[in-house]
Amino acid sequence: MVDTLYIEREVAEHKITQRVLKRYPNAQQVSIEQYGEVFNPAAQNFRSQKRNPALILARKTGQRIMPAPEEYEIGGDQNYYFSHMLNCVYDCRYCFLQGMYRSANYLLFVNYDEFADDLIEHVATNGATEPWYFSGYDCDSLAFEPVTGFAEYFLDVFARKDMARSTLELRTKSTQIRSLERRQAMSNVVVAFSLNPQSVVADVEKGTPSLDKRIKAIQRLQQAGWRIGLRFDPIVWHDDFERDYREFFARVFAELDSAKIDSITLGAVRLPKTFHKNMVKLFPEHWLFKAGMTQREQGMVGYQSSLEERLLEICQQQIAEHYKHPVHSYPIASVSE
Amino acid sequence: MCEAQPLIKRLNLLHQVSAHGFRLYYSAEQQTALLVTGCGRNAMAAGLMWARSCFVSINVFINVGSAGHGSFSLGECVLINKVSEHSSGKTYYPPILSKWGQKFSMLQTVDKPSDNYHQSLAYDMEASAFLSTARRLVNAEQAQVIKVISDNPANDYRQLNAAKLTELIDENCATIIEFSRQQTELLTESDVAVDEAMLEKMHAHWHITVSQHQQLLTLLSSKAVLQQFALTQEPEWQSFSKVKHYMAELQTWLLDCAPRLSVPSKSKVRS
């Protein structure tokens, strides 16, 4: 539920803005000139705002398609991401957004049409054979779908003939899959689900669908022919780690069709040092930012290297019992400067 | 002062201190204080800084006062969601987290009273200075503006008197106090208490540099969070001849504290 909408004057009449306004007829509307007035001021507390985030509707100017971070490079010969939204409706304690942004307000860029133009031009001109575009870096790709209609819009874009050699990856924890189910599965779209054992979901992935519901959503998409990615990232160390993850992997691979899994990636909790510092300030009482954590190479904070290595190895071995294809693993040591 | 009286009474603010032309009323337990600044931006900025120096622990600030409005009725209590300062064009958006069952309004802070009302705006003479100053002291969420409508195009400000202002605020005291309670509840920050007495003993026991003190605080704070998960006895600090040796040992001990999830997996519940 959103109580407050901040609306850039420039996009007040935009089609997507009007769609969102219909969704929140009782929300107070505040007109703003530029989203930075609300989103960027220094003296804001992310944790406090997360209790009742406002929704900011704005136009994304400047560069809209960015080179993908290394962890995302599992796709094509060139990898990019684009963010139609900053901040997430979920409240995962490990999420780097808490350390990156001052505001917990949802910032939705409504100029989908300009994103689409940029994507079409990018595919035509960037020279890549199979460019890969990720959504879900700065927000969950599907969690806000009933409000934003993001997937509905961009699936149409990637369904164009001139976009056929490009791939869209929607990264999500959400079960809002109706906009995908309403259409034929697309060969150039991968729906990548982040998964964790239910004990981890319940403890540190506040507000997200249960593992059970995520598996059911994936099953439905697999049956409909959609390409599925699994992201076991971040795995979270705890006292029953080995048993919890063994049972978890056994369940995931028993209930899903392994032959129809497009790719699997694996990574442990890791954060840039500055984000980690901000998050400790926000949640000084939370064990996640302290347990097994240490300063690592490349300006990162994560599990001490021997622990990270052990956790990733355990998961690799457990996955290998069920899934015979390579798993892309991302230890901190693999991050280049 | 006429606007302050009803709140002073309802909040039971029996004590007062005065300085620099300001009066500050406060409760016996010093959890709530009310500052009477008088009119205008300068008075607001100076008064707020002084009040903060008197009560450093207060972390929720609310500017309560009367305001004109282009279309709202007299006595309506509004929470302000946008403040623009007429003279500078500066704009502030107080992030609204608490539930508010009354109306919202945008507000313009002007330098002198006017009967030139815009339909959708409230008018006052202090709010922009309040927000600008408060944001130097606390986060944006912790500073809010509530105004009771005292004049509008049909009842201009010249008709106002002290008794009427007191009455208007009095009628809205319950709303204002409830909002203040919610804000305080929402914005209480978590902290990890480090054992200060032990830290003092450590300082007496070892020579600790400033940077070591910081590192030690970080480690002790981690210890406070993780010791619930410890499988082995934590290192006895008194047995170390130097603080750096203790910190190294504590670091190793902390790294072995595997957290227990608060929601166990099904198999654990069964067992």
Q: Which residue has the higher pLDDT, A236 or A326?
A: A236
Question: Stretch A131-146: mean pLDDT, rounded?
Answer: 94
**Alpha-carbon gap, residue A240 to A247, rounded angstroms:** 11
Decide if B265 and A30 are in contact by the 8 Å CB cutoff: no
Q: Cβ distance A5 to A24 under 8 Å?
A: yes
Which pLDDT value is given to residue B269? 44
Q: Which helix (H) or strand (E) holds A216?
A: helix A211-223
Nearest-CA neighbor of B40 among B99, B101, B114, B125? B125
Decide if A239 and B139 are in contact by the 8 Å CB cutoff: no
Share of chain A above pLDDT 70, in %: 97
Which pLDDT value is given to residue B207? 95
**Alpha-carbon gap, residue A189 to A195, rounded angstroms:** 19
Which pLDDT value is given to residue B169? 94
- Cβ neighbours of A149 (radius 10 Å): 17
Listed by number, the residues of chain B in 7-36 with a beta carbon closer than 8 Å to a beta carbon of chain A are none
Is the predicted pLDDT of residue A336 greater than 80, yes or no? no
Which pLDDT value is given to residue B245? 96
SS (H, E, C) A153-189: HHHHHHCCHHHCCCEEEEEECCCCCHHHHCCCCCCCE
Is B101 touching A (CB cutoff 8 A)? no
Question: Stretch A320-334: mean pLDDT, rounded?
Answer: 85
pLDDT < 70 regions, chain B: 263-271
Decide if B93 and A38 are in contact by the 8 Å CB cutoff: yes
Disruptive mutation site among A5, A55, A239 for chain B (greatest number of B CBs within 10 Å): A239
Which pLDDT value is given to residue A203? 96
Decide if B259 and A291 are in contact by the 8 Å CB cutoff: yes
Amino acid, res. B9: K
The string of pLDDT tens digits covering residues A21-53 is 999 999 999 999 999 999 999 899 999 999 999
- Give the max Cα distance, chain B: 79
Model pTM above 0.95: no
Q: Which residues contact A151 (CB under 8 A, 6 or more apart)?
A: A141, A142, A145, A170, A179, A180
Q: Which residue has the higher pLDDT, A336 or A163?
A: A163
Is A244 touching B (CB cutoff 8 A)? yes
Which pLDDT value is given to residue A245? 98
The string of pLDDT tens digits covering residues A159-218 is 999 999 999 999 999 999 999 999 999 999 999 999 999 999 999 999 999 999 999 999
Decide if B258 and A291 are in contact by the 8 Å CB cutoff: yes
Decide if B225 and A290 are in contact by the 8 Å CB cutoff: yes
Which pLDDT value is given to residue B62? 97
Nearest Cβ partner for A197 among B81, B222, B265: B265
A292 contacts on B by Cβ (under 8 Å): 255, 257-258
Is B257 touching A (CB cutoff 8 A)? yes
Residue B261 gets which letter from DSSP?
A: P
Is B119 touching A (CB cutoff 8 A)? no
A43 contacts on B by Cβ (under 8 Å): 135-136, 138-140
Nearest Cβ partner for B255 among A41, A287, A304: A304
Decide if B187 and A48 are in contact by the 8 Å CB cutoff: yes
Decide if B267 and A304 are in contact by the 8 Å CB cutoff: no
The string of pLDDT tens digits covering residues A253-280 is 999 999 999 999 999 999 999 999 999 9
Is B184 touching A (CB cutoff 8 A)? no
The distance of A106 to chain B (nearest Cα, Å) reads 13
Residue of A nearest to B187 (CA): A48
The distance of B99 to chain A (nearest Cα, Å) reads 9
The distance of B14 to chain A (nearest Cα, Å) reads 32
Task: Count chain A–chain B contacts defined by CB atoms under 8 A.
Answer: 122
A296 to A24, A63, A288, A312: CA distances (angstroms): 44, 31, 16, 16
Is the predicted pLDDT of residue A123 greater than 90, yes or no? yes
Could you tell me if the ipTM is greater than 0.90?
Answer: no
Alpha helix (H) residue ranges in chain B: 5-10, 41-54, 127-137, 162-171, 173-186, 196-205, 210-226, 243-255, 266-270
Q: How confident is the model at residue A71 (pLDDT cuts 50, 70, 90)?
A: low
Which pLDDT value is given to residue B116? 85
The whole-chain average pLDDT of chain A stands at 94
Helices (H) and strands (E) in chain A, counts: 13, 18
Nearest-5° angle of CA A101, CA A105, CA A108?
Answer: 100
Decide if A43 and B135 are in contact by the 8 Å CB cutoff: yes
**Alpha-carbon gap, residue B166 to B72, rounded angstroms:** 19
Decide if B259 and A3 are in contact by the 8 Å CB cutoff: no
Nearest Cβ partner for B226 among A6, A241, A290: A290
